[in-house]
Structure 1
Amino acid sequence: MNGLELATPFALALLPAPLLLRAFFGVRAAPGGGLPLPATIRERLGAGASANRLRLSWREIAAALAWIGLVLALAGPRVAGEVAALPAAGRDIMLALDLSGSMTKTDFELDGVAASRLAVLKHVGAELIRRRAGDRIGLVVFAETAFAAAPSSFDLRAVSATLEEMEIGLVGRSTAIGEGLGLALKRLSDSTAPSRLVILLSDGANNTGSSEPAAVAELARGMGVKIFTIGLGVDDTSSKPDDPDAVDFAALQHIAEIGGGAAFRARTGAELGAATRAIEALVAGPAPAPPTIIFREFWIYPGALAFVAAAALVLSTRERR
């Protein structure tokens, strides 16, 4: 906590303004005739006037307090304090998540209990989002089509809640990887963040949509957006090419290679969590942010003094009438 300071200290230059105005534009006695007075009476009147001039009436005091309070309020007395800010990572992250029908397959475990791929994805994805304090994170989901579920935001709790509400069937049941990746890039196109990346997670192969994933990855490289991919599932097309639920990890590797990122394989929930942490480790750590300066304002107190003094003057004027 710092000491008392003034927001606009030059306002104090207004303090002598009434005295200056009175000195330069004081009321002059109106010319006119009058009866001549004896010298002794004039001397007594003069002495009395001088004594009265040395005394200030309460109205003059109230006017002075009103002016002083007003000027002090304009000067803005305040006390500055520091509040630690969140680390400014300077990243915009879009999560592109597969919600195709194969995500309902129960071949994973969550806390020792059999769980669907979607349930594990929600659990691990929510943890990832909550860990990214200081980043802006958005959410795109895709299956037969792509849908922007959550815009880029620092409100990680809201993005995490949106992920946990996602259900299979919202955007079809096929797998349009190119469409999901393309929409994620579109959401990052207006970002001015120094670091932009897409984390693409899929448990299948690109089997629908008009956009080729490799072509979209080329576009991402031209935009300076890095792509990281995670292949989710026990089997992949290299070992079981005829399995409709097998993940095309070779294609995901190719996308990540073009996009300047890295590809990860996740056959269990633990491997999925490790993959997300590995991606975080590959991205530069957060930069220290300067503390946020907040001010405790005190102008209200001299302002209240000015108001009370001015109100007293107005009331006394009405009573005299």
Structure 2
Amino acid sequence: MFEFQFPWAFLFLVLPFIARYLLPARVQEDAALKVPDLNDWNSTSGSTQDNTASGIGWVVPALAWLALVFALARPVWLGEPIRLPAEGRDLMLAVDISGSMDTADMELNNRPVNRLEIVKHVLNDFINQREGDRLGLILFGSNAYLQAPLTFDRETVRTFMNEAALGLAGKQTAIGDAITLAAKRMRENPSDSQVIVLLTDGENTAGKVDPVRAAELASELGIKIYTIGLGAESMQVPSFFGSRTINPSRELNEGELQSIADLTSARFFRARNTEELSQIYDLIDELEPTERENKTYRPESGLFQWPLLAALLLGWVQLVLVRRGLS
């Protein structure tokens, strides 16, 4: 698409006519250079060569002026619109993969599965919805490891999450270290909105940093931490006398997770089954919405140099004509 960035520049086209009628013509007898008079144009006397020369003398400067005005109007060629990625939040997912995440107290498609399988299933949908966000992934057990730094590549984050293996980071739970690692990576990449979504099924049993202290440090950096406590409250297990009911989430420290969320002006959620976990991530998606405005830009190619070059060439032609007495 072709357009002019400064179309008002075409108003300058009338300047020669204004100057012609407002400024008196200066005629000096015996001058070395004769200025053409309007009468010369209207005169029917003279040779055909003189008439042709006079015509060229007016046309070339007029074309040069027109080319200059075109260059001043700055013609550009606009390419096809290109969609820019929407600006969203920095969102770090911190997921517990300690030994207790192997507890099969959840159901998926009417079959019992362990907690980590449910987390993978629900996070796939959550990651899909975060278009425009930079996502990162931290997996933690006895130690915390950065699996994916903050990136717009959601497919990579999803792949690393689906490949997570139980016990890969150890059997214990280092919640404080996971928060500290997430906050450190976010501090290295500051943005206007930074969120950590931490999921665990236990309490802090390893690591060097107290979870509450880590949350205080994150709060000072302006980072929100949404905490999710995962695990059913009752589960049937076989016993010598048939089966008995136990609480598989007795090690979950809800008070600590609540404190972490409160310190960072966020919220604590309790997920007892697959449906609740899915609803929690949907709610977080509503509480921390992505920027949905579609922004585009059109690449521009400047063309002003071509009419400018034409004006210079016409000026050179006019100079040659003047020196040869043809203008």
TM class, shorter-length: 0.5 to 0.7
Instruction: State percent identity of aligned pairs.
Output: 32
Offset, 1:124: 0.7
Q: Tell me which amino acid in the other structure corresponds to 2:132.
A: G
Query: SS at the partner of 2:298?
Result: strand
Distance in 2 between residues matched to 1:150 and 1:73, nearest whole Å: 50
What CA distance in whole angstroms lies between the structure 2 residues aligned with 1:267 and 1:164? 21
Matches within 5 A, 1:309-320: none
Q: 1:92 aligns with which of 90, 98, 104?
A: 90
- Structure 1 12/156 Cα, relative in aligned 2: closer, same or farther at 3 Å? farther
Structure 1 residue 73, shift from structure 2 partner:
11
Matches within 5 A, 1:46-195: 47=47, 49-53=49-53, 68=67, 75-79=74-78, 88=87, 90-195=88-193
CA distance in 2, matches of 1:186, 1:298: 42
* Distance in 2 of aligned mates of 1:193 and 1:250: 30
Distance in 2, matches of 1:302 and 1:111, equals 66
SS in 1 for 2:226: strand
Runs of 4+, deviation exceeding 6 Å: 8-15, 80-86
Q: Distance in 1 between matches of 2:99 and 2:133?
A: 30
- Is residue 226–residue 261 contact of structure 1 (8 Å, CA) maintained in 2? yes
Structure 1, gaps ≥5 residues long:
16-28, 30-45, 311-321
Tell me the CA shift for residue 186 of structure 1.
Answer: 0.9
Shift of 1:182: 0.8
Aligned to 2:256: 251
SS in 2 for 1:189: helix
Cα offset for 1:180? 0.7
Q: 1:7 to 1:179 in 2, by over 3 A?
A: same
1:97 is matched by which residue type in structure 2? V
Structure 2 distance, partners of 1:186, 1:100, is 22
Deviations 1:116-172 (A, max 9, x none): 211111111121111122322211111121111112223323322222222234322
Looking at structure 2, the residues matched to 299 and 13 of structure 1 have their Cα atoms a distance apart, in angstroms, of 21
Q: Is the 8 A contact 1:138 1:151 kept in 2?
A: yes
Q: Which 5+ residue runs of structure 2 have no aligned equivalent?
A: 14-31, 33-45, 235-244, 314-327
TM-score of the pair, normalised by structure 1: 0.67
Quick check: 184-193 or 243-252, which moved more? 243-252
| Pairs aligned (count) | 285
Distance 1:166 1:72, change over 3 A: farther
